[in-house]
Homo-oligomer: A and B are copies of this chain.
């Protein structure tokens, strides 16, 4: 391959809000696959809230990105050269190869995907990590039963939108929470949720109460902050709260303090954090249901596509602020 590679590196560790200057965009030499390696050209880069944690120098479940390293992330790409018998040029793959135009891989962090089954970008969203996150968190921790009320935050996002549609398919009453009337309209009219609360409206607590007349049995937590407090006081006995993320807190210099956790004692509420990669054995079943749902038109999704890898930092900051609408992607090639 001729030409140059383009990479996004971590330049500095942010305190509070991420700035574009926390990233550095560099041209570098085109990598050349050694024995057993594959050269992948990125088509789409996935941007996800968890990446904010990788920028920090703190104790976490996953290794942080070092200063000067390529930012961590998953892409869908095309194999352009291969010295690995498992991959051939032209193969479409999904893998954790980072924020770069071209990447080398030994194949261990990549899987082949079928571009004929669903649009390739979906392998970064509904038929990928975010979709499986929704599926595992809802089924294995949320354990919704027909007739129960399920509340989902970041309801128009990559994870929340899937959670709600799966819960509807399980005959639950589903209430989304999202930022702004446009997203709420999409959540109800396109995704088929029973209701959606605009957390930017002044009366959102009242709206949440009105939309959950029988209380809350499952709350799928993506955002943290005051919403969790409002949910806790409406939880029914034995409610389940899968803790998937708390994006409202990732850039907070002073974190929000949850005051109603005491409700969990008397109401026997279970709050449980999880990471989708803890349970890889569940992925095939999840991916099968999700891909089938997308093909049948039963699971809908929306994407925000930013053009050009050089715009990834700005798009990532927008994602953390909730400026995206649906799954945030960067179209790289």
Contact = CB atoms under 8 A, between A and B. Distances in A.
B258 A268 contact: no
A67 interface: no
B258 A246 contact: no
A260 B244 CA distance: 15
A273 B278 contact: no
A61 B266 contact: yes
A112 to B, nearest CB: 29
A67 to B, nearest CB: 21
Contact of A260 (B61, B228, B255, B267): B255
Contacts of A259: 254-258
Given A61-B237, A257-B257, A272 B273 contact: no
B245 A265 contact: yes
A262 B224 contact: yes
B268 A274 contact: yes
A243 B258 CA distance: 15
Given A249-B262, A257-B258, A258-B261, A271 B268 contact: no
Q: Is chain A's interface secondary structure helix, strand, loop, or mixed overall?
A: loop
B271 A264 contact: yes
B264 A243 contact: yes
A157 to B, nearest CB: 15
A262 B243 CA distance: 8
A107 interface: no
A228 B264 CA distance: 14
Interface string A260-299: 1111111111111111001000000000000000000000
A60 interface: yes
A269 B265 contact: no
Contacts of A254: 259
B273 A264 contact: yes
Contacts of A263: 273
Interface of A: 53, 59-62, 224, 228, 233, 237, 243-246, 249, 254-275, 278
6 nearest interchain CB pairs?
Answer: A257-B257, A264-B273, A265-B273, A255-B259, A270-B272, A61-B266
17 contacts: A61-B237, A61-B266, A61-B268, A244-B265, A254-B259, A255-B260, A257-B258, A258-B259, A264-B271, A264-B272, A266-B273, A268-B272, A269-B272, A270-B272, A270-B273, A271-B271, A271-B272
